[in-house]
Amino acid sequence: MSGQLERCEREWLELEGEFQELQETHRIYRQKLEELTALQTLCSTSINKQKRHIRDLKLALQRCKRHSSQEEAELIQQIGANIKERQNVFFDMEAYLPKKNGLYLNLVLGNVNVTLLSNQAKFAYKDEYEKFKLYLTIILLLGAVACRFVLHYRVTDEIFNFLLVWYYCTLTIRESVLISNGSRIKGWWVSHHYVSTFLSGVMLTWLCSVPAVLLPERLSLQTASPGGEEPPGPHEGFQSWMWRGLTFLLPFLFCGHFWQLYNAVTLFELSSHEECKEWQVFVLALTFLILFLGNFLTTLKVVHAKLQKNRNKTKQP
């Protein structure tokens, strides 16, 4: 019995030593965390101060440019180029500093710090975001086909459209987090998911009130909701993705865009049906048209820019 007690005493002393080390490690951690917070505040304050001074400098340069000589104009142009480069550096710096959330994130999450401080964490979050889009897109496509050809029930259509609303709402939140962490997602691909969220919500409300005589026309719209939206990944990575031996997907992409145009035309015709009294039909038609124009024109713009870039590389010796 005494031997067992001695072993317990030794184990407790070992645990006590480890606990003392843990306390010291935690004290150092808290100290470093306070130092990190102070450095973050200092960097953010300095960046804001630099931005204010640069803003004042740009106004002064604009006033000087009106009455400048050719030599002075060249100097002003050079300073302007340096200012533009400095602003890009500020953008990269701020990607690693806590910042206030935008209006949308504030409404959804509140004033929560969503900044990821390491490149590893940023890449991991972005990779998880891409996987989420890929898996959910496959599930939604299968669900759309099932609703169109197998499950001809109003309740399954409502569940499917509720899933679409949740999917696009989740995408907008995740993209906002990515933007807060320095991702250069911009332009149409950001607006696209807000428009798609609105479309799915309106579609869901319409399903609850559509007359039975219009059910066949309504069912034909199911296959358009999740598909034909955009290439995988945010717009910043589209060019590199599209030209890595995957250009064969472009025809499918354009088919999805024109399917949205087909749905817009179908809904515009449906809005004039004598049995169709719902406001959702015209709104859905207009929204599908907006999606088609945004997706089609943006994809054309990216393809044209990449082709132009390839031509310039070819012309260079």
Model pLDDT for residues 291-305, shown as the tens digit of each residue = 888 888 888 887 777
Report the distance separating Cα 172 and Cα 179, nearest Å. Answer: 10
Mean pLDDT of 232-247: 46
What is the pLDDT, as a whole number, of residue 213? 47
Report the distance separating Cα 93 and Cα 180, nearest Å. Answer: 12
3-state secondary structure of 238: helix
- 257 pLDDT exceeds 70? yes
Q: What is the pLDDT of residues 272-294, one digit of tens each?
A: 777 777 788 888 888 888 988 88
- Work out the pLDDT band at 32, boundaries 50, 70, 90: very high
What is the pLDDT, as a whole number, of residue 228? 41
What is the pLDDT, as a whole number, of residue 42? 92
What is the pLDDT, as a whole number, of residue 63? 83
Q: What is the pLDDT of residues 165-206, one digit of tens each?
A: 899 899 889 988 888 887 877 678 788 888 888 888 888 887
Provide the phi-psi class of 60: left if phi over 0, else alpha when psi is between -120 and 50, else beta. alpha
What is the pLDDT, as a whole number, of residue 224? 43
- Work out the pLDDT band at 235, boundaries 50, 70, 90: very low
What is the pLDDT, as a whole number, of residue 17? 86
- Over the chain, what is the mean pLDDT? 79
Report the distance separating Cα 33 and Cα 27, nearest Å. Answer: 10
Q: pLDDT above 70 covers what percent of the chain?
A: 83
Name the token pair of 128: 């998880």
Mean pLDDT of 132-154: 82
Is 203 within 8 Å of 161 (Cβ atoms)? yes
Residue whose structure tokens are 């505040």: 41
What is the pLDDT, as a whole number, of residue 31? 93
What is the pLDDT, as a whole number, of residue 222? 44
Model-level pTM?
A: 0.71
- 28 pLDDT exceeds 90? yes
What is the pLDDT, as a whole number, of residue 285? 87
What is the pLDDT, as a whole number, of residue 15? 87
What is the pLDDT, as a whole number, of residue 317? 53
Q: What is the pLDDT of residues 51-97, one digit of tens each?
A: 999 888 888 888 887 777 777 788 888 888 888 888 888 888 888 88
- Work out the pLDDT band at 237, boundaries 50, 70, 90: very low
165 membership: H or E segment, kind and range: helix 154-180
49 membership: H or E segment, kind and range: helix 2-65
